[in-house]
Structure 1
Amino acid sequence: MLTRVIQQFNLKVLSVNEVEDSHSSTVYKCNLLNGEIIFLKIPYTKLKYERELEAYQILKDKVSIPQMLDYWSGDETCPGAFLLSELKGKPLTNKDLPKVAFQVGELHASMHQIQPPSQLSGIRNEFPNWANFVERQFYSFAEDVQKVINENLYRQALKKFENMKLQLPPSDGPSFIHMDFRPANIIIDGDKVSGVIDFESVRFGSTEIDFTKIYRDYLSFDDELFQSYQEGYKNIRPLLDLEVVLPFYQFTDAFNSIGWCKRRGLEKNASFLEENLSILKRMLI
């Protein structure tokens, strides 16, 4: 498939390396004969391709993202592919300075400022039925989770979900939500945020779900980072009370992630499975 995509884009390639930590697409970093570096992205499904394509069209000139140089709608062997420019830098880490966290907050809020256009093709607007969307996701993964954890823990989790969802504040939106806003998808160049990548999971919905992964993998390690992020976010738009919404979404994210590991393979995702089992058990004490 890679050879087919390279031919489709008529690329003169010197070397190709697969990018790690890409879970819903296959991504390749390509060094071209002319010295240019570009990225090839092949989503796993047609739906993910359609979401990503529309996201690039919606976000262009509003949020810092790679330039989409070309795209291909695919054929019977390939769901589609994107030719993307390089964002200079490396993925965000919790060693980056608080001034970077401030910019990450601004970047996140800038996405959340974007409201759905009058017509959508690949991206769904889940906001009008937000509670149903969250519930549908949870119980979809529940079928997989039940095969991984013991019955008592499983029943406790279902009961906690039903109790916690009743305590949520009114939904905040409709907003463009990334659904996978985590350090691996945020590119930093020195002390500047270059932009955000990976849009195969995006929706329009309530912002409340979109803070979970950035908190889990970045903000929770340092109060100063967390404060700077919040200040940056509030510099663009009002911020929900995260102390109210984070516990619910931390819980559902851990639960859903266990189901994700079952679908994608327990052995190859063993460490991620253990991490989320630990979070789930801690929240059920």
Structure 2
Amino acid sequence: MLNRVVEQFGLQFSSMSEVEDSHSSTVYKITLLNGQNLFLKIPYTRLKYQRELEAYEILKGRVAIPELLDYWSGDEECPGALLLSELKGKPLTTDVSPAASYQVGVLQATMHTIEPPAGKELTGIQNEFLNWSQFIEKQFYSFAEDVKEVVDEGIYKQSIKKYEEMKQQIPAPDGPSFVHMDFRPANIIVDGDKVAGMIDFESVRFGSTEIDFTKLYRDFLSFDPSLYQAFKEGYQTIRPLIDLDVVLPFYLFTDAFNSVGWCKRRGIEKNAVFLEENLERLKEFL
């Protein structure tokens, strides 16, 4: 299938290597004969391909993202493929300056200003905003079936009770906004103190902004108060920021729970470290 995709795009390259930390697509870094780097992305499903394609159309010229150079709608064996330019830099880490964190806030807030396009029918990106609480609940109880097979009965029952209690405290959703759904350091590219942009749009929706702070806080903002403060300041230059102290506990809890279920679905052995991390987080909440 890879050979067919390469042939479809007419690529002449000197090297190709698979990119790690890509969980719902197969991604290759390709160096062309002229030394230029490109990325070839093959989503796992047709829906994920369609979401990516629509996201590039919606975000182009509005938020810093790679350039969509070409795409192929696939065939009976391939769900589709996208050829993307390279964003110069590396994935975000906690070693960056507050100035970079400020720019991450600006980037995310700018994305959150984007509303569902009027008069345009989307086939990949769903608008979940009007039924946001049902959307979150559906995700939670879907993963619950997997979590039940991983944790003991006591932890499972405690988790369900905790969810039902915490969901009552969540304020009205903030949106409808374009939400990334996987806004984490691996998908934010920085070059020194400059944020180059963001990648990976196979899970995007129109929904409530509150869900997009979860993974960023879990993997980045929670480690350094100065980074957290700078992020909030950057975000607020574009749009008002919701009360994260109110919503984050609920979303961090559901993220830990859902991530345990995700590890069960994707394979406990190959996701053992991530599984243990989330089991610990879950137990802390309980």
TM over 0.5: yes
> What is the Cα deviation at residue 192 of structure 1?
0.3
Separation in 2 of the partners of 1:232 and 1:2? 41
Shift of 1:136: 0.3
Amino acid of the structure 1 residue aligned with 2:237: N
Give 1:34 deviation, angstroms: 1.8
1:24-71: CA deviation from partner (whole Å, max 9, x where unpaired): 101000001122110000000001001000000000000000000000
One-letter identity of the residue aligned with 1:279: R
1:5 maps to: 5
Whole-Å Cα distance in 2 between the matches of residues 160 and 73 of structure 1? Answer: 43
Letter in 1 for 2:68: M
- 1:233-244 matched pairs, under 5 angstroms: 233-244=235-246
* Separation in 2, partners of 1:272, 1:63: 30
Runs of 4 or more consecutive aligned structure 1 residues displaced over 3 Å after TM superposition: none
The SS at the match of 2:261 is helix
Q: Secondary structure at the match of 1:96?
A: coil
For 1:171, the equivalent position in structure 2 comes to 173
Deviations 1:157-204 (A, max 9, x none): 001101100000111000000000000000001110000000000000
The letter for the 2-side match of 1:275 is E
Match of 2:202 among 195, 200, 203: 200
Partner of residue 250, structure 1: 252
State the match for 1:279 in structure 2.
281
Could you tell me how far apart the structure 2 residues matched to 1:76 and 1:13 are? 26
Q: Give CA-to-partner distance per residue, 1:94-126, whole Å, 9 cap, x none.
A: 000000000000000000000001332210000
Give me the whole-angstrom Cα distance separating, in 2, the residues matched to 1:233 and 1:155.
37
1:166 aligns to what SS in structure 2? helix
**What's 1:53 paired with?**
53
Q: Which residue of 1 aligns with 2:31?
A: 31
Q: What per-residue deviation string (whole Å, max 9, x for no partner) do you get for residues 199-234 of structure 1?
A: 000000000111000000000000000000000000
Are residues 1:229 and 2:251 paired?
no
- After TM superposition, the structure 1 = structure 2 runs for residues 10-25 of structure 1, keeping only pairs within 5 Å, are 10-25=10-25
1:108 paired residue number: 108
The one-letter code sitting in structure 2 at the alignment partner of 1:3 is N
CA distance in 2: counterparts of 1:241 and 1:120, whole angstroms: 31
- Give the unaligned 5+ runs of structure 1: none
What residue is the counterpart of 1:130 in the other structure?
132
Secondary structure (helix, strand or coil) at the match of 2:169 reads coil
- For residues 58 and 243 of structure 1, the distance between their equivalents in structure 2, rounded to whole angstroms, comes to 31
Q: CA deviation at 1:154?
A: 0.2
The residue aligned with 2:147 is 145
Q: Sequence identity of aligned pairs in percent?
A: 70
Aligned equivalents of 1:271 and 1:215: distance in 2? 19
**Within the alignment, does 1:213 sit opposite 2:215 as a pair?**
yes
The one-letter code sitting in structure 2 at the alignment partner of 1:56 is Y
Report the 3-state secondary structure (helix = DSSP H, G, I; strand = E; otherwise coil) of the residue aligned with 2:131: helix
- Report the TM-score when normalising by structure 1: 0.99
Distance 1:2 1:44 in 2: 13
Matches of 1:259 and 1:171, distance apart in 2 = 25
The residue type equivalent to 2:84 in the other structure is L
**Partner Cα separation in structure 1 for residue 230 and residue 2 of structure 2:** 41
CA distance in 1, matches of 2:114, 2:46: 24
**Is residue 186 of structure 2 the alignment partner of residue 184 of structure 1?**
yes
Q: State the one-letter code of the partner of 2:45.
A: T
TM (norm. structure 2) is 0.99
Cα offset for 1:91?
0.4
Tell me the equivalent position of 2:72. Answer: 72
C-alpha displacement of 1:7: 0.4
Instruction: Give the Cα–Cα distance (whole angstroms) in 1 for the partners of residues 82 and 196 of structure 2.
Output: 19
